[in-house]
Amino acid sequence: MSAKSKRQSLIKDLLNTKIIGSQEELARLLLKKEISATQATLSRDFAELGVVRTITENGIRYILNSDEAGKQISKLVSYEIISIENNENLIVLRTLAGRAQGVAHFIDRLNKQEILGTVGGDDTVLVIPDRVKNIPIIIRMIKNMITKTHY
């Protein structure tokens, strides 16, 4: 895992588990975990992760904006899917080499009731529908995600 990935993963964990009201506070918490980050680096990380500053009953707090982060990730995932195929029971997505597990994880996190789950290999994702009749809905959902983010 790269230093950036490690730092951003830790930032997400900290934002999900602690109330953090300033970038300075976050920098101190990262330093306790032996990760040094400047304010400029944290600002870039916040932009990439979709972190927003919000006012709560306890004061100002940084949180992960799931909508914005989801759009960024959706755009990346859409470029990683090469093809969509199905039979009478299952959907198979072909991805760029080494990206199937990330795509499978993203699809699982969509929390769509039509999808029971996924299995990600190296370049293939098996999408398991809750019902056979929902296969066209799932395929349309994935195709719409790909089409919307490419333009």
What number of H helices and E strands is found in the chain? Answer: 6, 6
- The token pair that represents 88 in the structure block: 């009478």
pLDDT at 148 (0 to 100): 62
Q: How far apart are CA 38 and CA 42, in angstroms?
A: 6
Higher per-residue pLDDT: 40 or 147? 40
CATH number corresponding to 3-64: 1.10.10.10
pLDDT at 57 (0 to 100): 73
pLDDT at 4 (0 to 100): 87
Q: How far apart are CA 57 and CA 50, in angstroms?
A: 22
* pLDDT tens for each residue of 45-100: 888 887 888 877 778 888 887 555 456 566 678 888 999 999 999 999 999 999 89
Average predicted confidence (pLDDT) for the chain: 86
pLDDT tier at 26, thresholds 50, 70, 90:
very high
Q: Is pLDDT of 150 > 50? A: no
Whether the predicted model's global pTM rises above the 0.75 cut: no
- Output phi, psi for 26, to 5 deg: -65, -40
Q: How far apart are CA 59 and CA 55, in angstroms?
A: 6
pLDDT at 73 (0 to 100): 63
Domain boundaries, the chain: 3-64, 73-149
Task: Give the strand pairing for 91-95 and 124-129.
Answer: antiparallel
Short-list 19, 15, 105, 66, CA closest to 7? 15
Q: Which CATH architecture has domain 73-149?
A: 2-Layer Sandwich (3.30)
Q: Is pLDDT of 110 > 50? A: yes
